[in-house]
Amino acid sequence: MNQRETQDEVLKREKAFHDDLYSSKSDSRAAAKKYSRLKAEFDKRYMKLVKERAEGSKVLEIGCGPNINTPHWVDIAAECHGIDISDVAISQARERLGKPYSNTHLSVMNAESMEYDDNYFDVVCGKGIIHHLNTESAFKEVSRVLKPGGLAVFIEPLGHNPFINLYRRLTPKMRSDDEHPLLMSDIEVSQRYFGNVNTDFQHITSILSAFIPGNRLHSLSFQLLNSFDSLIIKSLPFTKKYSWMALIRLQEPYSA
């Protein structure tokens, strides 16, 4: 089996997994919902970065899923595009969007081989999508469709922390067989396609606050542990790879 056939098989499995995930009445990821509130800070920064660039711009969300973010910028962007490998995701995204918008286009599409012209988008974004893709192909395609002055921004899980990886091994049904939380070497791949790469890291010890009950106690513990994490990363930069999440900003795409 050659590399192209292998990657086609991966895409088929990813599509089947997510079609089943979004079609199912039971939520295989329900056990992980307690961790979702930890993502709030990165989510706010992500949304701010996109919305600051969205006005009058062409925006593409990769791996949009059924909970597409387009409603947050549909009224200010020139064009809003959302793509996903899952037919079910796109169908549900259209339902969530409600009425049709003339500037909005949702499509079933492979993010590793997008059907867009070169230098088309001002903003390309996605949450938890790159680690489902071939990293090289994904960054190359994002670089191709992004305008020279554009911005790409992604939130991705990392794969270095042994404790988080143990949790992943113990909960295999919560994720697809082929997804691969990013390693530092994966992020470095982006430097082949972008002249400006900035990555922020979050959640080394602060992930423990997910187990603290009560909103007030959780909030306090998160703030303390998050500050501790920032101190650790600043004092010992090598520890950043043990974070749970990364916010990746890509600019200055290289011409193909």
pLDDT score at 29: 55
pLDDT score at 24: 78
pLDDT score at 41: 82
Whole-structure pTM value: 0.91
The band of 1, judged by pLDDT with boundaries at 50, 70 and 90, is very low
pLDDT score at 34: 62
Share of the chain above pLDDT 70, in %: 93
Domain count of the fold of the chain:
1
Kindly state the tokens that stand for 233. Answer: 């990363």
How far apart, in whole angstroms, are the C-alpha atoms of residue 83 and residue 109?
6
pLDDT score at 7: 79
- Is the predicted pLDDT of residue 84 greater than 50, yes or no? yes
pLDDT score at 6: 81
The band of 97, judged by pLDDT with boundaries at 50, 70 and 90, is confident
pLDDT score at 183: 98
- In tens, the pLDDT along 108-123 reads 999 999 999 999 999 9
Strands (E), 42-177: 58-62, 79-84, 104-108, 121-127, 146-157
- In tens, the pLDDT along 121-169 reads 999 999 999 999 999 999 999 999 999 999 999 999 999 999 999 989 9
pLDDT score at 27: 60
The band of 31, judged by pLDDT with boundaries at 50, 70 and 90, is low
How far apart, in whole angstroms, are the C-alpha atoms of residue 59 and residue 150?
10
User: 38 to each of 12, 173, 223, 234, how far by Cα in Å?
Assistant: 31, 22, 10, 20
pLDDT score at 99: 78
Q: What is the domain range of residue 125?
A: 3-253
- In tens, the pLDDT along 170-222 reads 988 888 989 999 999 999 999 999 999 999 999 999 988 888 887 888 889 98
The CATH number that applies at residue 206 is 3.40.50.150
The answer for residues whose C-beta is within 8 angstroms of residue 230's C-beta and 6 or more apart is none
Share of the chain above pLDDT 90, in %: 67
Per-residue burial over 151-169, b if 16 or more Cβ lie within 10 Å, else e, is: bbbbbbbbbbbeebeeebe
CB atoms within 10 A of CB 33: 10
How far apart, in whole angstroms, are the C-alpha atoms of residue 80 and residue 138?
20
